[in-house]
Amino acid sequence: MTGDILKLVGFRVRDLRKERGLSQEKFGEISGFHNTYVGAIERGKQNITLLNLEKLAESLEVEVLELFRYTDIDLGKTNKQRDLQEIVDLLTGLSDSDIIKAKVILREIFDKQHPDL
C-alpha cells in the first residue's frame, strides 16, 4: 500500500522519541527540525529524504537501520493488538527471572479482578 513505509518509519521515530522521554518540541530542537515537521513524520504524512532520516537517527542515537525495525507491522491491527505486541516487545528483552516476576505481578493484579484466571 502506498505510504505504508512512511507510517512505519514515522511510528518507529515516535516510539524511539517517546522511549527517550522527548517531546516533539524538544526532539525538534535536538534534530534541527520544526516540531510540526516532526509531527508530520511521525504520522506518516511527510516523505523524508535519506539525509533527514540520518539526522533523525543521529538525534535518537540509533543507527538508521533501527528506524526500519517495524517493517513487518500490520497497520490494520487493532489498538488492543498493538498494545499486546508492545507488551511482548517489552518482555522480550528481559531476563528469564524478570519475565517470571512480570508474570507474578500480572497475576497478582488480574487475579483479584478475575479470580477464575
Provide the grid cell at 5.
513505509
7-62 tens-digit pLDDT = 889 999 999 999 999 999 999 999 999 999 999 999 999 999 999 999 999 999 99
pTM of full prediction above 0.75: no
Instruction: Tell which residue, 29, 28, 43, has the closest CA to residue 75.
Output: 43
Q: What is d(CA 117, CA 111) in angstroms, rounded to the nearest whole number?
A: 6
Angle at Cα 62 formed by Cα 5 and Cα 72, nearest 5°? Answer: 30
Q: What is d(CA 115, CA 113) in angstroms, rounded to the nearest whole number?
A: 6
φ and ψ of 43, to 5 deg: -90, 0
77-96 tens-digit pLDDT = 677 777 888 888 888 778 88
Packing angle, helices 35-42 and 4-19, rounded to 10: 120
Task: Read off the amino acid at residue 96.
Answer: D
Q: What is d(CA 108, CA 102) in angstroms, rounded to the nearest whole number?
A: 10
